[in-house]
Amino acid sequence: MTIGLNYRLLKGTALAMAAGAVLYGCSDFLSKAATPEGTLDQGTLTTPSGVEGSLIATYRQLDCTNIHTGDWGCAVSNWAFGSVPSDDAYEGSEANDQPPVESLELYHWANGGVSSYLNDKWVAMYEGVSRANATIRLLRTVAATGAITPPVAAQIEGEAIFLRAHYLFEAYRFWGNIPYYRENDTDFKKANEPAADVVTDLLKDLDSAAKLLPATPRNGQVGRVTSWTAKAYKGRVQMYAGQYAAALTTLRDIHVNGPYKLETSFDHVWTGFAAFENGKETIFAYQASANDGEPNGENSNYGDRLNFPHSGSPFGCCGFHQPSQNLVNFYRVDANGLPLALSSPGSWNADDESQSAASATVRATAFDPRLDWTVGRDSVPFKDWGIHTAEWIRQISHGGPYSPKKNVHEQASGAQSNVGWTNAQTNSDNVHIFRYADLLLMLAEAEVENGSLTAAQALVDTVRMRAAVRAQGCGWTADNGIGTVYPQCVNDTRIAVPIDDPKITWATYRVGLYSTQGPWINVATAREAVRTERRLELAMEGQRFFDLRRYGNPYAAATLNAYFNGVGGGAEKTRRPQFVSVEPFTARHQLYPIPDLQISLSKVGGQDRLVQNPGW
């Protein structure tokens, strides 16, 4: 959101709406250390404060909560569904830990454990829809008494409608054909709509939200959605629906007239430093909170807490969501600083060995600097936590030698939770749901589909120029061991430095811009260049698998089956033993199966109201 006053949304201790009647809340919308107030009766709820609390409860549902926490299928980042089944990431950890995630990785989606994970996501999304609709109903009751003025009521309703659209968009990304619930619905066993009708309903809701919402966060409270959030999200939905001409109009407007900008450097995007929280690149983010009075730290990045280096690291657990060898190789660049995957399609992925900076050959290999903001690799500084080593990895044979990095806070940021199970793996780093670089690259896609290749190239180069600003620096502290391995780093506390800083001896970084030649000579090659850039920029953010599916099944199937069987000179089947049993990606994998439990619960008169997706 646009930065306003120094406030943020509180993700309350145990906020939940149940049939619109009971709210567990906090005393102050703005407090960072609120304590539970207990159960509120209907009379207390039917007040302006009750409406605002209900709305906070709707925001809180973005990530896993105390009330509806399953395993990790509820994570706002979608790491188990958007990264692990793609070519970005392995399940990680070790064999037989969280078996449903390994089944997702191997496309064994008919396994019962996968259905349980999917059910967690379904419940979380429709709980969000329920809370949004309950907020609208409660708002109308209170507004009718005159206790909330019409302008404020309109803005609250706009926030609730937007949040409903977000939750239903998430369900649409997973299952395509879903039931669409509105505030006046009384039949809670509705049949699922065809995906095209869901898109129509989403766009209607987002248009309504955009008309009701202010252009800046209400009351200056950073984290609230605005009319620009709704407009940007509309462009996102249009791109998922393949409505490129309409998306071009929407996204061009955001680009030219909207409040969003790229952060000055990549290290300011995923960070625990409060100075960069809800920065100019943030369109919509989950507002994680740590050390706010919640005794178990569960207002933090709960859904992503497994995704830290394991016990040999400063974090203690748990080693999931590890970057793939394919992804690491994808960051290699040619002599011009452009993706090797485009200029050398037959060899970019040939290296099966760990890209450890302990090797002189690896140190001389040119990489895009976004690699070391995205991936923890051996003998490279890990923000300001010291040198990443093999001791940080739980089981290299299963999860490979790399660690996820974007979701990890900096030691100096103060974002780490002080309470809860393995508190070092929980933090207040906001989780990006939609950010401006994502939008710019969607606009570049739309420009390509419109035949505007020069405009698309300029957008991609804008993102690449930002990537060239900063690389991982020393991040020295008195006790993290950097100075022992790299003596030049002693007393150099900088986590981010220019990519050609002389202190960098662990890597060669290079970023080039595209000329009007190369990939930009026709639509097909330009389309591939934009898709390549999206992977480089958004890797490990839970977007890749959804991107591949929206590109269409021939492309998704070709990309993912080649990932396992061989592409660019390398194959994951020869790198990780679990892939021997991988199923091929086929047409049925274009949508996740609707959870069996939800189909069973939808029965009316012995007949299922929900229809399972094709192939499941």
| β-pair partners for 435 | 282
Identify the weakest region by mean pLDDT among 111-115, 200-204, 395-399.
111-115
State both tokens at 32.
């960072």
State both tokens at 163.
């949040």
For 148, the domain range is: 1-584
CA distances from 160 to 147, 197, 283, 288, 299 (A): 18, 21, 16, 19, 21
Q: Is residue 602 part of a domain?
A: no
Residue 297's region, left for phi above 0, alpha for psi from -120 to 50, else beta, is: left
State both tokens at 204.
């209607």
- pLDDT-based confidence at 1, cuts 50/70/90? very low
For 29-74, give the DSSP string: TT-SS--EEEEPPHHHHSSHHHHHHHHHHHHHTTS--STT--SSTT
Q: Containing H/E element for 210?
A: helix 195-212
Cα gap 316→416, rounded to integer Å: 13
Task: Say whether pLDDT at 314 is over 80.
Answer: yes
Task: Say whether pLDDT at 434 is over 80.
Answer: yes
pLDDT digits (tens, 9 = 90+) for 401-415: 999 999 999 999 999
Name the percent of the chain lying above pLDDT 90.
Answer: 89
For 484-510, give the DSSP string: HH-GGGTT---SEE-TT-TT--S-EE-
State both tokens at 437.
């670089």
Identify the weakest region by mean pLDDT among 29-33, 329-333, 394-398, 465-469.
29-33
Q: How many domains does the chain have?
A: 1
State both tokens at 548.
């591949």
Identify the weakest region by mean pLDDT among 247-261, 498-512, 517-531, 539-553.
517-531
- pLDDT number for residue 61: 94
State both tokens at 509.
């970084």
Q: Is residue 599 part of a domain?
A: no
Cα gap 609→603, rounded to integer Å: 6
Segment 564-575 shows an average pLDDT of: 98
State both tokens at 586.
């086929």
- pLDDT number for residue 516: 76
Q: Is residue 601 part of a domain?
A: no
- Give the list of residues 6+ apart from residue 246 with CB closer than 8 angstroms, or none: 238
Segment 64-92 shows an average pLDDT of: 88
Handedness of CA 558, 560, 563, 566 (dihedral sign): negative
pLDDT digits (tens, 9 = 90+) for 214-255: 999 999 999 999 999 999 999 999 999 999 999 999 999 999
Task: Say whether pLDDT at 534 is over 60.
Answer: yes
Q: List the CATH number of the domain containing 355.
A: 1.25.40.390
How many Å is the Cα radius of gyration of the chain? 23
Torsion of CA 311, 315, 318, 323, to 10 degrees: -110
Handedness of CA 229, 231, 233, 239 (dihedral sign): negative
Cα gap 85→583, rounded to integer Å: 11
Angle at 1 between CA 47 and CA 3, to 5 degrees: 95
Identify the weakest region by mean pLDDT among 18-32, 251-265, 338-352, 559-573.
18-32
Task: Say whether pLDDT at 36 is over 90.
Answer: no
Q: Containing H/E element for 367?
A: strand 366-367
Distance of CA 64 to the CA centre of its chain: 14
Helix 436-449 / helix 244-257 crossing angle, nearest 10 deg: 130
- pLDDT-based confidence at 16, cuts 50/70/90? very low
Angle at 543 between CA 265 and CA 112, to 5 degrees: 145
- pLDDT-based confidence at 69, cuts 50/70/90? low
3-state secondary structure of 428: coil
CA distances from 215 to 204, 218, 222 (A): 19, 9, 12
How far the first Cα of the chain sits from its last, in Å, is: 39
Task: Say whether pLDDT at 354 is over 60.
Answer: yes
Q: Is residue 328 within 8 Å of residue 378, measured between CB atoms?
A: no
- Give the list of residues 6+ apart from residue 344 with CB closer than 8 angstroms, or none: 334, 568
- Report the chain's mean pLDDT, rounded to a whole number: 92
Cα gap 56→221, rounded to integer Å: 12
Cα gap 216→223, rounded to integer Å: 10
* Residue 33 or 470, more confident: 470
pLDDT digits (tens, 9 = 90+) for 170-190: 999 999 999 999 999 999 999
Pairing of strands 36-39, 89-92: unpaired
Handedness of CA 596, 601, 606, 609 (dihedral sign): negative
Residue 146's region, left for phi above 0, alpha for psi from -120 to 50, else beta, is: left
- pLDDT-based confidence at 515, cuts 50/70/90? confident
- pLDDT number for residue 44: 77
Burial class (CB in 10 A: 0-12, 13-18, 19+), 581: exposed
Q: Is residue 595 part of a domain?
A: no
- pLDDT number for residue 65: 77
* Residue 29 or 74, more confident: 74
- pLDDT number for residue 193: 97
Q: Is residue 603 part of a domain?
A: no
Segment 580-604 shows an average pLDDT of: 97
- pLDDT number for residue 38: 53
Q: Is residue 299 within 8 Å of residue 67, measured between CB atoms?
A: no
Segment 137-155 shows an average pLDDT of: 97
**Helix runs in 383-522, H state only:** 396-399, 436-449, 453-467, 482-485
pLDDT digits (tens, 9 = 90+) for 358-368: 999 999 999 99
Cα gap 126→164, rounded to integer Å: 9
Pairing of strands 403-404, 375-376: antiparallel
Position of tokens 């049993």?
581
Q: Is residue 611 part of a domain?
A: no
Q: What is the pTM of this model?
A: 0.93
Position of tokens 């008309």?
211
- pLDDT number for residue 72: 86
Other Cβ atoms within 10 Å of 522 Cβ, number = 11
Closest CA to 548 of 590, 579, 519: 590
- Give the list of residues 6+ apart from residue 484 with CB closer than 8 angstroms, or none: none
- pLDDT number for residue 369: 98
Pairing of strands 508-509, 366-367: parallel
Q: Is residue 58 part of a domain?
A: yes
Contacts 24+ apart (CB under 8 A), 599-603: 601/189, 602/189, 602/191, 603/189
- pLDDT number for residue 70: 63
| β-pair partners for 366 | 508
Position of tokens 């829809």?
129
Q: Is residue 610 part of a domain?
A: no
Residue 322 DSSP code: E
For 26-40, give the DSSP string: ES-TT-SS--EEEEP
